[in-house]
């Protein structure tokens, strides 16, 4: 049918998304995230534990309140995650020098190694899938990388800073 795209709706104008397109994008991102999160189980970590570990490794030394804000999880949940990572020897907790009441965490060598292993495994898994795609699809994904990076950066900003 003329004027319809392959998924049954009207074609979106270049650069604009309708609700259907946004829903498709959200579902695709969700499926990819769940598939990539399976790599965390190789280290006996939940996806949330792996995400917190990755953040601690990247940041080096970070306060729990900052971690909770970045990860978007409540302090009780974060406390459980941090306790588990500490028990596994992947992070170390200590008092903040500037505020002895506050707790900061830092990665251990084992934590850095586990984080690297998870990241490398995710990279290998994604590369294996990309290599199975058609050349045209792979090229389209490669060309779309700046757009995906811009989307990821925009989503990191608090919702109050995003304009509709």
**What is the full DSSP assignment across the chain?**
-TT--TTSSPPPPTT---HHHHHHHHHHHHHHHHHHHGGGGGGT--HHHHHHHHHHHHHSSEEHHHHHHHHT--HHHHHHHHHHHHHTTSEEEEE-SS-TTSEEEEE-HHHHHHHHHHHHHHHHHHHHHHTTS-HHHHHHHHHHHHHHHHHHHHHHS-GGG---
- Residue range of the domain that includes 67: 33-157
Any domain includes 25: no
Residue whose entry in the numeric block shows the structure tokens 């090229």:
139
Per-residue b/e over 5-36, b at no fewer than 16 CB within 10 Å? eeeeeeeeeeeeeeeeeeeeeeeeeeeeeeeb
Any domain includes 114: yes
Query: Which tens digits make up the pLDDT trace of 67-109?
Result: 988 888 888 999 999 999 999 999 999 887 777 778 899 999 9
pLDDT at 4: 44
pLDDT at 15: 65
Any domain includes 122: yes
Closest CA to 93 of 52, 64, 67, 72: 64
How many other C-beta atoms are found inside a 10 Å radius of the C-beta of residue 51? Answer: 18
Record the pTM: 0.73
Name residue 105's beta-bridge partners: 62, 93
Any domain includes 20: no
Domain count, the chain: 1
Any domain includes 128: yes
pLDDT at 102: 80
Any domain includes 117: yes
CA distances from 114 to 42, 53, 145 (A): 9, 9, 27
Any domain includes 72: yes
Any domain includes 52: yes
- Ranges of residues in the chain with a pLDDT under 50 are 1-13
**Which CATH number characterizes residue 68's domain?**
1.10.10.10
CA distances from 110 to 24, 63, 137 (A): 38, 20, 38
């Amino acid at each position: 049918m003329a004027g319809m795209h392959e998924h049954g709706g009207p074609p979106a104008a270049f650069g604009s998304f309708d609700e259907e397109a946004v829903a498709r994008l959200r579902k695709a991102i969700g499926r990819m995230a769940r598939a990539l999160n399976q790599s965390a189980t190789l280290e006996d970590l939940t996806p949330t534990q792996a995400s917190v570990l990755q953040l601690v490794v990247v940041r080096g030394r970070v306060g729990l309140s900052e971690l909770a804000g970045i990860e978007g999880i409540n302090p009780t949940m974060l406390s459980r995650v941090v306790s588990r990572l500490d028990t596994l020897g992947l992070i170390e907790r200590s008092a903040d020098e500037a505020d002895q009441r506050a707790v900061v965490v830092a990665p251990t060598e084992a934590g850095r190694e586990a984080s690297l292993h998870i990241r490398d495994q995710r990279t290998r898994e994604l590369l294996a899938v990309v290599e199975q795609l058609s050349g045209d699809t792979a090229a389209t994904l490669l060309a779309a990388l700046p757009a995906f990076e811009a989307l990821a950066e925009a989503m990191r900003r608090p919702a109050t800073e995003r304009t509709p």
